[in-house]
Structure 1
Amino acid sequence: MSPHSTLPTISPQPRLSDFFQGMGLLGRAFSLILRDRRLFLLSALCAAVTAAALVGLAWLLWRYAPGALESVWTRPESWYGQAAWTAVLVLSGLVLWVVGANVLPPLLLAPLQDPLSELTEEACGGGPGASFTVAGFVRGLVTGIAHTLARLFFLLAGLAVLLPLHLIPGVGSVLWTVLASLYTMTWMAGEYLAAPMTRHLYPFAEVRRMLRERRALCLGLGAGIYVLLWVPILNAFFLPVAIVAGTLLYGGLREARLLAPPPGESTTAALK
């Protein structure tokens, strides 16, 4: 497989099959990581940190989630009340675990995300990254922080809007879990597509435009990452795989001319 063929060939027009192409990006990412020694070593380091974070997160939820739920809803005494209470605890815990998995490991591994994305672009024939400059580093850091805050705001705001669904007797918690999962999948697609776009100084509006215009493609990527989080052992690699897959999606969008040249290109040229 040539470096160029690693990038997905994206249709200029949206298609329903884009969803499966988005999920397939994870397979491309795994293949690239296994073939590139530098990507593999960096991914292995990320996996070790991620595994520890996921185990710690699961322990925290197991230890404190029941008490948190009891603080807002006393455990019923009837068998059917206890069944409903347990269902709410399990469903909410599953979504909270996914949300936590997409917040804690990325924060711990923030310094390694850009190198992973840069190595992916190099492996796809993009050439080495731009030379280091203080001004470029500061601009990238500010842009990255702004993107991260914006993405976290949208994630938490969306889940908060859906919280009242729990008040609907019977189906409310199930409905909240389904909608919150779909929303989180979309958010994850934006999170990892934004990783390379942030490095190239695209405004956050461009990330939202891609999520809107190529909805099925991005949802497929998010769904693949979501499913990967539930696969034991492999889920330790979810962060590097997600970053590599998001970078491949970015490269495919560039190849299909669905994204304009990055603002970072003209900025870098002006600094040299």
Structure 2
Amino acid sequence: MSPPSPIPTVSPQPRLSDFFQGLGLLGRAAGLILRSRPLFALSALCAVVTAIALVGLAWLLYHYAPLALGSVWTLPESWYGRGAWYTVLVLSGLVLWVVGANIVPPLLLAPLQDPLSEATEALCGGNDGPPFTLAGLLRGITTGLLHTLARLFFLVAGLTLLLPLHLIPGLGSVLWTVLGALWTMTWMAGEFLAAPMTRHLYPFAEVRRMLRQRRALCLGLGAGVYILLWVPILNTFFLPVAIVAGTLLYRGFLKAGLLPPPPGASRGTLP
């Protein structure tokens, strides 16, 4: 008896439970990694590199974040002023650590992202991607670069637009942290959903469309990755788990007919 397909069943229409289904994709992805030797081996390698990157990022923020904040806001003399200064430092540092964790490790592990996604799709069965050609490789590199630049632009632009919230006394920094976290979660969903879609040469507009149309489902995925980043030891596996979860979500969208077939794919290779 063949094992059940790991592809999630996505409702054609948005539902209130979509958020929890998106959150649960991380557990589904972790289970798939533990059952597959190729995925586990790639994930273990990712974990080592991610651990080094996260420790290095935390060290940089610990040593340089106070200097950066002090360059624009001198540490006050009063106790309440110091309290506000350190509150801004901690809250900003938390968001910047999450943002950095979603930029530095993926950049270091870029060569492993496609193999992780490909291995996941192989376990899903069918639609393993277009055959290798030099032209296809060049298109994939170009599409991936454009997607990465677009995603980074939206991340930085969103956080920058929220910066004036710091000007609101007391509550402003808390609002910036909460809204910045929500924006980062949405960005994470786009980041890891785009990984398999880029490999299949979908335009970035399709990624944005899915984020907009299935907002709760994608936000659940992003929230799961965000939470995973705060769990010691397990957070070193956040990248492979997120890539596998994003690939499963992509295949779920494809199976539900929410996405058109990949550009250039033949009908016989679709799930």
TM-score > 0.5 by shorter chain: yes
Correspondence for 1:18: 18
Taking only the aligned residue pairs, the percentage that are identical comes to 79
Contact 2:189 2:219 survives alignment (8 Å): yes
Could you report, residue by residue, the CA deviation over 1:134-161 in whole angstroms, capped at 9, with x for unpaired residues? 1110010000000000000000000000
CA spacing shift, 1:81–1:194, aligned 2, 3 Å: same
Return the alpha-carbon distance in structure 2 between the equivalents of residues 186 and 178 of structure 1.
13
Instruction: Tell me the amino acid that sits aligned with residue 9 of structure 2.
Output: T
State the Cα deviation string for residues 181-230 of structure 1 (Å, max 9, x = none).
00000000000000000000100000000000000000000000000000
After TM superposition, the structure 1 = structure 2 runs for residues 1-272 of structure 1, keeping only pairs within 5 Å, are: 4-126=4-126, 128-265=128-265
Query: TM-score when scaled to structure 2?
Result: 0.96
Distance 1:23 1:3 in 2: 23
Q: 1:75 touches 1:85 (CA, 8 Å); kept in 2? A: yes
In 2 relative to 1, CA 207–4 (structure 1 residues): closer, same or farther, beyond 3 Å?
A: farther
CA contact (8 A) 1:3 1:123 kept: no
* Cα distance per residue 1:37-81 (max 9 Å; x no partner): 000000100110000000000000000000110101110111111
Between 1:172-181 and 1:2-11, the stretch displaced more is: 2-11
Cα RMSD (Å) of the superposition? Answer: 1.4
Q: Is the 8 A contact 2:190 2:211 kept in 1?
A: yes
Displacement of 1:131 in angstroms is 3.2
Please tell me whether the aligned partners of residues 91 and 177 of structure 1 are also in contact (alpha carbons under 8 angstroms).
yes
* Per-residue deviation, 1:36: 0.3
Deviation at 1:264, TM superposition (A): 3.7
Q: Deviations over 1:60-107 (max 9, x none)?
A: 000000011010111011111111111100000000000000000000
CA contact (8 A) 1:193 1:246 kept: yes
Q: 1:255 to 1:176 in 2, by over 3 A?
A: same
Q: Is the 8 A contact 1:196 1:247 kept in 2?
A: yes
Gaps spanning 5+ residues in structure 1: where? Answer: none
Distance 1:144 1:162 in 2: 27
Counterpart CA distance in 2 for 1:261 and 1:65 is: 46
Structure 1 counterpart of 2:17, which letter? Answer: S
**Alpha carbons 1:4, 1:124 under 8 Å: kept:** no
Deviation at residue 132 of structure 1 after TM alignment: 2.0
Counterpart of 1:255, as a letter, is: K
Once residues 19 and 2 of structure 2 are traced to their aligned partners in structure 1, the CA distance between those partners, rounded to angstroms, is 24
Question: Is the Cα–Cα contact under 8 Å of residues 3 and 124 in structure 1 kept in the other structure?
Answer: no
Match of 1:109, as an amino acid?
L
Aligned residues: 267
Is the Cα contact below 8 Å between 2:162 and 2:176 reproduced in 1?
Answer: yes
Aligned amino acid, residue 227 of structure 1: I
Give distance in 2, aligned partners of 1:213 and 1:2: 33
Does the 8 A contact of 1:166 with 1:176 survive in 2? yes
| Structure 2 CA distance for aligned equivalents of residues 213 and 146 of structure 1 | 22
